[in-house]
Copies of this chain bind each other. A is one copy, B any other.
Amino acid sequence: MAQLQRLVVSPTQIAAEQIALTPAQQHYLGHVLRLRSGDRFIAMNGLGQSWLVALTTQAATAKILEAMQTQTELPISVTLLMALPKNGMDEVVRQVTELGIDQIVPILSDRSLLKPSPQKLDRWQRIAQEAAEQSERQMVPGVQAPQTWGEALQIWNTQHSICYICAERGMRSHLLSCLQALSAEEWSRGITIAIGCEGGWTEAEIERAIAVGYQPVSLGARILRAVTAPVVALSLVSAVLEENAPQISEPT
């Protein structure tokens, strides 16, 4: 069977086994994808549920045929705190979404040069939605409003989850070893990973994170660009979670 197209719909569009399509969705399905009455696609509400649906004769609605059982989400919540890089944040959002991220929090760090506009934020949320559809996820990651490091550390600290900060210089434990040493109870608390922008975190930023329980980690012997590091970190988290982690208990 050819892969069915995926489309994110709002929960408010769903009623009585019918999905009311927006004009933009009707245009996309009918004119871009050239689907016709009876053609099937997958509707996902971005919150973990998806359905096999068929376009109706009116083409303004789709009929729900059955709920999908596929599960491609990571079993725990993984958050990326990303110090805003000068370039390449679009690609970071896209790639970490493919790798199963749950929350993306842009950080206005000491070395961030970018102060993103609200339009940028909308754009990143749209990219996350597209990437979630294309990578066949059931959830669309949330892209938060940019925060200062101080604001972020009040929320994302060891009260919230297990926290790592990637620091390229100095002898640090490798993220892979740290993840493999986590117990099932620790995994179930969720993971937060902080990545610096060009030039890395300042020493003061690293110390501030360590003070609220972050463990500084390395991603290997070579220097990675700011836009590559999150992809590497998420590759390790998702691989260890899906392959090596002790049986994760239900998140509390």
Contacts and interface: CB of A to CB of B under 8 A. Distances in A.
Given A222-B100, A232-B235, A243 B177 contact: yes
Chain copies in complex: 2
Contact of A98 (B224, B239, B244): B224
A109 interface: no
A33 to B, nearest CB: 17
A243 B178 CA distance: 10
A72 interface: yes
B134 A223 contact: yes
Contacts of A71: 221
B136 A220 contact: no
A72 B222 contact: yes
Nearest to A135: B222
A44 interface: no
Contacts of A244: 176-177, 180
A200 B176 CA distance: 28
Contact of A137 (B94, B222, B231, B239): B222
A225 B134 contact: yes
Contacts of A136: 222-223
A95 interface: yes
For chain A, which range describes its interface: under 10, 10 to 19, 20 to 34, or 35 or more residues? 35 or more
A-side binding surface: helix, strand, loop or mixed? Answer: helix
A160 interface: no
A174 B243 contact: yes
A146 to B, nearest CB: 24
A235 B239 CA distance: 10
Contacts of A225: 94, 98, 134-135
Contact of A100 (B175, B220, B235): B220
A176 B240 contact: yes
A223 to B, nearest CB: 5
A225 B231 CA distance: 13
Contact of A238 (B95, B100, B220, B240): B220
Contacts of A238: 220, 222
A239 B176 contact: yes
Given A231-B95, A231-B231, A232-B235, A174 B242 contact: yes
Sorted nearest first, the 3 A-B pairs with minimum C-beta distance are A235-B235, A176-B239, A72-B221
Given A98-B228, A99-B232, A100-B220, 4 more contacts: A99-B224, A174-B239, A222-B238, A235-B236
